[in-house]
Every structure is written in C-alpha cells, then in structure tokens.
Structure 1
Amino acid sequence: MRIRLIAVAHANHPLHHLGRNLTYWDLRAYCHLVVRDSGAKRDQHVVTVEVDQRWTVSQVATSIQAVCMGYGFAWLPEEHIR
C-alpha cells in the first residue's frame, strides 16, 4: 500500500520562516523526527534526510506530539495530520 507522506513542522518552527519552498539542504539543519520501522519486512525506501540530529520514536503519535511541541520536523502520513 502506498501512503502519502508530508514534511511537517510546528507553525513557529524556523523552517516556516524561510519564506520559500524548502529543499533537503534546508532540512539538514534541523532535528528530524523518525518513526522506527519495526515490521518484519522493513521498507527500504523510507523517506529520510541526512541531518546532524535525529530522534527516533516508536509511534506516529509520539512523532506528531514532538512536532507539535516544536522539537523538529517529520515526514508523516497525510491521513494522520489532516
């Protein structure tokens, strides 16, 4: 199944203040919040960015909470953040 992932950050996060479309280079400077894939058949095409700081969490809800608290950005399923 394909799931649409959207890069999200808190409204006050510095990424929203750049005033232009973001690039992967912009994302590198900020903490990337990643949900751990614990499935037996892990997807090798996971959306990730080379960053200096990455927090790995075990649940999408935890990632959403961390984004809402302004701790970083995450690629989240569209249906979870709508």
Structure 2
Amino acid sequence: MGRALAEHFPEARDAFSEADAVLGIPLTRLLFEGPLDELTRTHNAQPALLAHGVAAQRVLDARGIAPRAAAGHSLGEFTAHVVA
C-alpha cells in the first residue's frame, strides 16, 4: 500500500519517512513489504491509513491541487484535519 505513490513522488516518500520517524516504527517497510497480517492489525493499520492519506494530499498540494473541504469518518476525521 502506497509503494507506487512513494516510488513516483518525492513528497509521498518524505511523508512516509516522516511517519516512520514520528511513530518510531518501520511503518514504510510494513506498508510496502508487509506481512499483510501485521499491517492489518489495528495498531498498525490506523497510522498506515493516516500516513497514506497525508502522503497522497502532499502530492496533490505540490501540484497546486488543494481541497476546498475535507471530511472523514472515524480515523478519516484525523486525516481530514491534517490535510485541511
């Protein structure tokens, strides 16, 4: 999850690296290499989804594409707050 995004866009790579540093876990490795059963555990899946959403928005921001509004449900609310 997110590997192609990071391979093609430096903003995404930077966002994933920042998440690794802030969380103190190898989130990027888990996202790109798995194992899937470890990634899908809630304590990994939640920050992975947030990091992916932030990475995607940073790619858009770098290209001048800014949201007019952001919304989310549950964890998505945090992603919306970060990218807003």
* Structure-2-length-normalised TM-score: 0.27
Structure 1 or 2: more strand by fraction:
1
Structure 1 or 2: more helix by fraction:
2
